[in-house]
Amino acid sequence: MDEMELSFYGAASVEPSPVSRMMASFAADFRDGVDINLGVGYVNEKTIPRGLILEGMQKVIADPQKYRGALNYGGPQGSENLIQSIKKFILDNRIGSLSEYELERHEILIAPSGATSLLEGLAQLLPRGLVITSDPIYYIYSNFLERMGFEILAIPEDDEGLDTDLLAQTLSEIGNDQQNIRFIYVVTINNPTGTILSNRRRRKLVEMAAQLSHQLGRKVPLVLDRAYEDLIHDPAVPRPDSALLYDEAGLVYELSTLSKIFAPALRIGYMIGPPGDFTRAMIQRTSDVGFSAPLIMQEIAGYILEMYAIGQLTRVNRGYRQKALDTGAWIDETLGEFISQRHGGQAGFYYYLTFDTIETHDESDFFRFLTRTTGKPEIDGPPDNKHPRVLTIPGRYCVHAAGSLMQIGQRQLRLSYGFEEPDNIHKALQLMREAVEYCRSL
Ligand SMILES: Cc1ncc(COP(=O)(O)O)c(C=O)c1O
C-alpha cells in the first residue's frame, strides 16, 4: 500500500525546518548549567509575573459575575473584558499614539493561540501568491509561508527597517508579477536584527500599500507584527506611531502579543484592524481552530493588564535594558575586532552580528567549535562529557535563500540575551572569541 497522500503543505511539513531540526537536536541533550543557549527566543524567566498570574487566576475564579464562564468555551472574537483591558492599556500608555477615536474605528480580536496563530490564519485566508517582507526575514514565519505555497519577496532593510526605495525598485522590476502580491508583512522590531521600523518608514509603507492597492484594483494588506514593540527599552528611541494612524484605505492590520511582556504560555495575541470581510473571516478562523483562546487565560491576562500593566512593563524593560547594555559591551570587548556590524540592543532581546571573514553557518569551523563537533578531542572534550556548548542562530537561516543577502548571511548570527543570565552570556561570548581564534589558527 502506498503512503497516504498529503497536501502540498503536509508534504512540505514532513521534514522539520532547518532551525527546528537544529534546536531539537541541541535541546535533546542540553545540559543545564553547562551549555548556553543564546539561540532560542525564550523570554527571561525572571520577567514572568508568577504572583500576578496566580492572583489573577484567583480573582477570575472568585468572581463569576464579572468573569462569566471563565472555565467554559469562549466566543470567537475574544473576551470582552480582555478587549476592554487592551483598549485601556493602549490609551493609558499612549501606545502608538492611538486615540479613542482610532480604537472605535477598528476591531480588536483575540487570537486563538498567540500572534503566531494570527500569522497562520492570515496564510489560510489569503490566496497563494507573493508576500513582501524585509530581509533578514522572520525565518519561522517565512518558512511556514513557503510550506503553505506562498513565495517570499525579501527586501533588504537598512537602519530604519525595510528599505522602501529598494521596494519601489523591485516592484518596477517585477512588472506584471505585481498581480501576484498578496500582502506585505513587516516585523516592526525585526526578528532577527532588532532593527526598529522608523515612523517615516511606517508612513511610507502605508503609502506604498495604498498605491499598490489602487494600481491592482484590490486591497493589498500591510500586516505589521508588533511582537517586540512594547519592549523598546532604549530611552533614545522615538516613540513609534501606530501605522493605523496613517491608514486611510483600511489596509493596515497590527498584530501584538502579551508573550514577551507577560508570559508566552498564556498564548495571548491580538489583532487590531479595520472592520470588514478579512476581519470577520479571521474571527471565524478562531472559531474553527478551537472556538477561542482559553477563556481563563484571556481573563487572567485582562486582569493583569488592567491592574498592573505599567509596573510590569517597567520591570521587564528595565531588566532587558541592563542586559542589552552589558551584552553590547561584552560583544565589543570580545568580538569587536572581528565584526563589521552589530545590530539590535535597543528593543526586544536580540543582537545580530556580521563578522568580517568568519563564517557562522552550521558547517563552519566556528559553529563546529561552539557545538563541540570538530572531531578533535582537545576542542570537543570527551564524548560523554563534552566541553560547554553555545547555540546561536546562524545568519544563513535568517536571510532569504533567494535574496541578495545570502552571501553575507553566511557570516552573520543572531544571539538572544533574553533567556540566559548575564554570567552565562558573558561566558558564551568568551567562548565565541575562542571559536574565532580557533578558526584563525586553522
Ligand atoms: C516576530 C514575531 N512574531 C510573533 C511571535 C510569536 O508570538 P506569540 O508568542 O504571541 O505567538 C514571535 C515570537 O518570538 C516573533 O518573534
Query: Does one domain contain both 273 and 331?
Result: no
57 within some domain: no
Query: Does one domain contain both 74 and 203?
Result: yes
d(CA 99, CA 123): 30
Residue 334 carries which side chain, given as an amino acid letter? Answer: T
Q: Which atom of ligand 1 is nearest to the CA of 117?
A: 11
**36 phi, psi to nearest 5 deg:** -125, 125
Query: Does one domain contain both 42 and 171?
Result: no
Residue 291 has pLDDT above 80, yes or no: yes
Q: Which atom of ligand 1 is nearest to the CA of 41?
A: 14
User: From residue 254, how far is each of 105, 182, 262 by CA, in Å?
Assistant: 14, 16, 19
388 within some domain: yes
Q: 8-12, 30-34, 388-392, 419-423: which range is least confident on average?
A: 30-34
In tens, the pLDDT along 235-266 reads 999 999 999 999 999 999 999 999 999 999 99
Residue 82 has pLDDT above 80, yes or no: yes
- What residues make up the domain containing 144? 65-308
In tens, the pLDDT along 206-224 reads 999 999 999 999 999 999 9
**338 phi, psi to nearest 5 deg:** -110, -5
Domain boundary among 257, 284, 308: 308
Nearest 5°: the CA angle 8, 10, 15 is: 110
Query: Does one domain contain both 88 and 140?
Result: yes
Query: Does one domain contain both 206 and 93?
Result: yes
Burial class (CB in 10 A: 0-12, 13-18, 19+), 28: exposed
Residues facing 110 on adjacent strands: 270
Question: Please, which residues have CB within 8 angstroms of residue 423's CB and are 6 or more apart in sequence?
Answer: none
d(CA 313, CA 261): 6
Predicted confidence at residue 30, as pLDDT, reads: 87
Predicted confidence at residue 144, as pLDDT, reads: 97
Query: Does one domain contain both 180 and 295?
Result: yes
User: From residue 215, how far is each of 70, 165, 175, 254, 398 by CA, in Å?
Assistant: 47, 18, 12, 23, 32
243 within some domain: yes
Query: Does one domain contain both 92 and 207?
Result: yes
CATH code for the domain in which residue 273 is found: 3.40.640.10
Residue 435 has pLDDT above 90, yes or no: yes
Predicted confidence at residue 260, as pLDDT, reads: 97
The arithmetic mean of pLDDT across residues 168-176, rounded, is 97
Task: Tell me which residue has cell 484590490.
Answer: 218
Predicted confidence at residue 424, as pLDDT, reads: 97
Q: Where are the beta strands (DSSP E) in 203-345?
A: 222-225, 252-257, 269-273, 339-344
What's the 413 CA to ligand 1 centre distance in angstroms? 19
d(CA 326, CA 330): 6
Q: Which atom of ligand 1 is nearest to the CA of 268?
A: 10
What's the 41 CA to ligand 1 centre distance in angstroms? 9
Ligand 1 pocket at CB < 6 A: 41, 114-116, 138, 187, 191, 225, 227, 257, 259, 264, 269
Whether the Cβ atoms of residue 403 and residue 154 lie closer than 8 Å to each other: yes
Residue 41 has pLDDT above 90, yes or no: no
2 within some domain: no
Query: Does one domain contain both 72 and 43?
Result: no
What's the 227 CA to ligand 1 centre distance in angstroms? 5
Residue 29 has pLDDT above 90, yes or no: no
Nearest Cα neighbor of 132 from 403, 425, 420 is 403
265 within some domain: yes
Domain boundary among 254, 285, 308: 308
d(CA 216, CA 112): 32
Predicted confidence at residue 27, as pLDDT, reads: 74
The arithmetic mean of pLDDT across residues 324-338, rounded, is 98
Domain boundary among 275, 308, 341: 308
Residue 19 has pLDDT above 90, yes or no: no
Percent of the chain clearing pLDDT 90 (strictly above): 95
Atom 7 (ligand 1): residue with closest C-alpha? 115
Residue 53 pLDDT class (50, 70, 90 cuts): very high
Residue 22 has pLDDT above 80, yes or no: no
Q: 15-29, 124-138, 329-343, 384-398: which range is least confident on average?
A: 15-29
Q: Angle formed by the axes of helices 114-125 and 139-147, to 10°?
A: 30
60 within some domain: no
What's the 424 CA to ligand 1 centre distance in angstroms? 24
Query: Does one domain contain both 115 and 139?
Result: yes
Query: Does one domain contain both 394 and 426?
Result: yes
55 within some domain: no
The arithmetic mean of pLDDT across residues 41-54, rounded, is 95
What's the 381 CA to ligand 1 centre distance in angstroms? 36
Over the chain, what is the mean pLDDT? Answer: 96
What's the 115 CA to ligand 1 centre distance in angstroms? 6
In tens, the pLDDT along 189-202 reads 999 999 999 999 99
Q: Which atom of ligand 1 is nearest to the CA of 258?
A: 10
If one counts the domains in the chain, the total is 2
Residue 40 pLDDT class (50, 70, 90 cuts): confident
Q: Angle formed by the axes of helices 295-335 and 422-441, to 10°?
A: 50
58 within some domain: no
Predicted confidence at residue 441, as pLDDT, reads: 96
Residue 86 carries which side chain, given as an amino acid letter? Answer: I
Query: Does one domain contain both 356 and 285?
Result: no
The arithmetic mean of pLDDT across residues 13-28, rounded, is 82
In tens, the pLDDT along 92-144 reads 999 999 999 999 999 999 999 999 999 999 999 999 999 999 999 999 999 99
Atom 12 (ligand 1): residue with closest C-alpha? 227
Query: Does one domain contain both 283 and 400?
Result: no
CATH code for the domain in which residue 365 is found: 3.90.1150.10
Distance spanning both ends of the chain, measured CA to CA: 52
What's the 440 CA to ligand 1 centre distance in angstroms? 37
